[in-house]
Amino acid sequence: MPRSVMLLEGRSIVITGAGSGIGRALAVALATRGARVILVGRRAAALAETAMQLPVGVRSLTVVADITTAAGRAMIVESCRNDGLDILINNAGIVASGLLSDLGDAELQRLVATNVAAPIALIRDLLPLLRLSDRPRVVNIGSVFGDIGHPYFAAYCASKFALRGLSDALRRELATDGIGVTYAAPRATRTAAADGFSDLVAPFAMVLDEPAAVAARIVTGIENEADTIYPRGPERLFVWLQRLLPGVVDRALAAKGRKVRRLLEARPTA
């Protein structure tokens, strides 16, 4: 017998990267359903702006913290002690694009620290609180680039492949504890991060979704306790082709990549 839809009203939900983009849209969508949202991010002003967009009367908490540090994660854990924690949404992330040869060590380290190491550590640190909840869940926000290795996003793809692997492994590991794990894989979204690869959108025929539409799909997936959440459209087809006929995807993206190479080589380096 299928389980009933999870009611989000009154549930305590941590959202990292809540100061903008998908994180902000998730906060608004979840608060609209009556959830208590804990907004986490590095910029106090951005979190305050998100908090102002929440429905009047909804309980929320702002935590200014860097999730890549032990001290920052400890602040998040402490903020959850009084009211508990039902759902952790690992949304914070950064995008690196362009030729791999142009990425410096500092940028690579920041990417891995934010997109991979921090979510792993935060889940670990919050597990004791999640185990006390009824129907707890971890939601990792990945990308379709966590399934499809895309040229000129190699390092970013690697980080999202890692997050997808983490989600699959933890889903099996935490099943005994009754903790669900959802991996959400949006396609490109119209956020500030997308500005960094704006010159690649047209050549690769990328479609950019609005954050509110992405958040709505993710919230529905959470309510249905879905293991995975993928967008509708050609990207979903490419995900299946990648799994069944990877050579087809290799040839298609390599052909496009060759056309884009000259454009990228003309990019100014940081």
Catalytic residues: 156
User: CA-to-CA distance for 231 and 50, rounded, in angstroms?
Assistant: 25
Adjacency order of strands within the sheet including 12-16: 60-64, 36-41, 12-16, 87-90, 137-141, 180-184, 228-229
Q: Residue 5 CA to chain centroid, in angstroms?
A: 22
User: CB neighbours of 256 closer than 8 A, spacing ≥ 6?
Assistant: 151, 203, 204
- Give phi and psi for 203, each to the nearest 5: -60, -35
User: CA-to-CA distance for 185 and 227, rounded, in angstroms?
Assistant: 11
Helix (H, G, I), strand (E, B) or coil at 189: strand
User: CA-to-CA distance for 23 and 29, rounded, in angstroms?
Assistant: 10
Longest dimension (CA), the chain: 58
